[in-house]
Amino acid sequence: MEGQVGNIFETQFRHTSLGNHYTSSTVPSSTVNTSTSDIKSKESKHVNHILRNSGIAAGVGVLLLAPVMILAGRGKLPKPITNFLNKKSANISKKIAELLAKPTMTKAEMVYLNSLQKTSNTINSLKGLAFNVSPLKDVLFEKVLRKIGLGKVCNKITGFFEKMAVKMTNIAYKKSNNAFAVMKDSFSQANKKMLSNPDKVVEIKGVSKTVAEWAKDAETTLQEMDSAYDYFRTPSLTRRYKSLAKKFQGLGSRVFEQTYGNLKEFLTSPKKWTTFISEDMVAADKLKYGRGISHHRRIITNTRQDSVESIEKLVASVKSGMDMTTKESVDIIKRLNKAVKSYKTDAAKEEVLSEIQSIIKESKKYLNGTNYAPPTAEKIRKSLNEIKYIIESDKNGKVEELLEIYSHILPKDEFNALKKIAQKSASSLKDAVYTESEKFVDKMRDLKAGSALTDIGTGILLPMGTTAAAISMADTKEKKRSVGLNFGIPLLTGLLVSTWGTIAMYAAGPSLVLGLTTSTITNRVCSALDKHLKEKDAKKLQTIA
């Protein structure tokens, strides 16, 4: 199953005519001479009646669409709920940190700590439950479409969305490529400028060489940096995209089999339906994919802060799996936090690495015991080993190595200008890597689980149908025009722009804001046009009268 599966909505509008009924009876002449103002009043009331009914119809479409677009279609919670959960989660994390900062804890405090951890896990489960709405409706919808012979249509729609995801990721890398090219050229010029005094001896980190020798080293490093960047150029990107698509192939079928295909077991297992199932299925591949990208980025540009950020995420993963009622677990987390804090303040790598290795060794027996289920223990072990790997392989990237040389040889103003160019390139590469390893991977996950079909169905077809039904309720050309201008065009414009935001891999919040802003602006323009046309029609009526 390849394509998005969504709920099937069938909206019906019953048109009941409540207009005036005229008879063939003789009408008194006095009533025939109806004033122009009366005609305009009746016309206005009838148009308002149609607009009200059309507004209700359009509103029904929005009410049906909003939860799907915000919650199900994109796997995101509505903003108020997200803010509430994030706020609670932040408060809990703060309390956990305060307890862990204590030199010693009583048994009661450890029990309280464990309850906080369980509450945090419960919040994550609630998020997982909400996220599951998306793959559950997607795979079911796609299954239905394929059963009725629309498999080729599903493939084409999904293929289109996949191409758009690739295109948006390539755009991010294009920006990085441009910034990298500028930096490379600037570094090449700097290497030549250094040779103005080639025989001068300069000491850098305890090593003394002539400027000519440092310039030669810089040129070699520059070539190595350029070669390493090949990993982020089009040929390598294309190979990675294809590899990821192959790994995620058939994800929709796997989700279906573990949910609807084994419904009883799925419903009776809270762990399964409170875990974001499609994300859980691809977690290992996603981790490996992201690790490879991160490794190659660190070759080009890497600082101690970059490593610390990666380590802190892994420590959070360890915390989420730990049973905080035991002294062993509390000690592990305390030691991890202390090690990361030391590393963050530029402590010697060897000292921190020794401590991490000690934690891994001492926790091995504890994790293999009866305290943890094997999957949980394995997750904690992998996170600890990943922390060790990051510290072991942590060193400055090629960009930082070059800047170190330039800082000792070039004039301060020239170095500062060069540093800004390098920082811009590093930031651009970091953004592109995030787009690929997070946004692109998540989008491919959703598409292979069938998200494209409901994006089309609920994002475009449903509002189009709703608007068409609303317009059909109006019985004159002028009223149809008014409904279309006041409701149809703004609704469709906003939803199309919002859907474009989804295709562009924007998050749910920005996509929704973009859609609502566009819809509001379009509504004001169309309302002004509608008012102008009504005034024009009224003048025609006055002329006829």
pLDDT tens, residue by residue, 329-374: 888 888 898 898 889 887 788 889 999 999 998 888 788 766 677 7
The whole-number average pLDDT for the span 197-222 is: 95
Is pLDDT of 448 > 80?
yes
Q: Taking the CB of residue 467, how many other CB atoms lie within 10 A of it? A: 23
What's the pLDDT at 345?
A: 85
All residues at 6 or more sequence positions from 361 whose CB lies less than 8 Å from its CB, including other chains: none
pLDDT tens, residue by residue, 466-497: 666 666 666 677 777 776 677 667 766 766 67
pLDDT tens, residue by residue, 236-254: 999 999 999 999 999 999 9
User: Which structure tokens are listed for 41?
Assistant: 């009043």
Closest by CA to 334, choosing from 528, 42, 110, 534, is 110
> In which band, very low, low, confident or very high, does the pLDDT at 380 lie, cut at 50, 70 and 90?
confident
What's the pLDDT at 81?
A: 56
Is pLDDT of 48 > 50?
no
pLDDT tens, residue by residue, 5-31: 333 223 322 333 333 333 333 444 444
For a pLDDT cut of 70, what percent of the chain falls above it? 70
The whole-number average pLDDT for the span 293-302 is: 93
All residues at 6 or more sequence positions from 319 whose CB lies less than 8 Å from its CB, including other chains: 96, 117, 333
What's the pLDDT at 425?
A: 97
For the chain, the domains span 303-394
Give 173-176's long-range contacts (Cβ < 8 A, gap of 24+).
173/232, 173/233, 173/237, 173/432, 173/435, 173/436, 175/428, 175/431, 175/432, 176/232, 176/425, 176/428, 176/429, 176/431, 176/432
pLDDT tens, residue by residue, 62-112: 333 334 433 333 334 454 555 565 566 667 767 777 777 777 777 787 778
User: Which structure tokens are listed for 436?
Assistant: 């690929």
State how far the Cα of 441 lies from the Cα of 69, in Å rounded to an integer. 20
Closest by CA to 43, choosing from 32, 54, 35, is 35
pTM value is 0.67
Which class for 361: exposed (0-12), middle (13-18), buried (19 or more C-beta within 10 A)? exposed
pLDDT tens, residue by residue, 107-130: 787 778 777 777 776 766 666 666
